[in-house]
Amino acid sequence: MRHFVEELDYLRSRLLEMSALVEDSVYRSVLALTEKDPQQSQKVLQNESEINHMEIEIDDLATRLLALQQPMATDLRFLTSAIKINNDLERMGDLAVNIVERALSLSNEPLMKPMIDIPAMASRVQSMIRKSLDAFVKRTRSSPAPCWFLTTPSIPCAIPFTRN
């Protein structure tokens, strides 16, 4: 049983590391877009390979624990949630790469107006990632804070970036 608990703790810590890397990628991808900074783009692209590697490692560990340890109730919920969260974090990393790719394609184009809404949305996303994962890992019931983004007035997502 002790080995199982240690493995769960390791899984928990790897999820936190992955979420920190994803949060950093989201932050840097928006910086690459708003500041037209190719160094930030490179860092996001480097993070992507690490995020992909971590996703495979976490998935393998959680699947192995499910198969070999036959977890009960709370631990079973933790493992199934970890698998789903792991997949979502990897997808967020992919989306950060998509932002960087768009930032690179727009790097030589003039902006139509200052980008205000995109950094605000990214800040909300980073906060949601951090709060949600902290609540999950600490096994505390999350306040509604991570979901407030869904109930606030929408921010226009189709913002023109460049002049036609």
Task: Give residue for tokens 């990393």.
Answer: 93
For residues 132 and 142, give the distance between their C-alpha atoms in angstroms, rounded to a whole number: 7
For residue range 100-122, list pLDDT tens digits in order.
999 999 888 877 677 788 888 88
Sign of CA dihedral 59, 84, 147, 120: positive
For residue range 60-83, list pLDDT tens digits in order.
999 999 999 888 998 999 999 999
Which tokens in the block code for residue 109? 């184009």
Among 4, 27, 16, which residue's Cα sits nearest to residue 133? Answer: 16
Q: Say what the pLDDT of residue 159 is.
A: 45
Provide the β-strand partners of residue 162. 111
Question: Across all residues in the chain, what is the average pLDDT?
Answer: 84
Please give the residue that has the higher pLDDT: either 145 or 56: 56
Domain boundaries, the chain: 2-110
Which tokens in the block code for residue 144? 């509604």
CATH number at 2-110: 1.20.58.220
Q: Using N-to-C axis directions, what is the helix angle for 73-106 and 117-138, rounded to 10°?
A: 160
Please give the model's pTM, rounded to 2 decimal places. Answer: 0.80
For residue range 44-61, list pLDDT tens digits in order.
999 999 999 999 999 999
DSSP 159: -
Provide the β-strand partners of residue 111. 162
Q: Residue 32 pLDDT > 80, yes or no? A: yes
Q: Give the pLDDT mean for 20-44.
A: 93
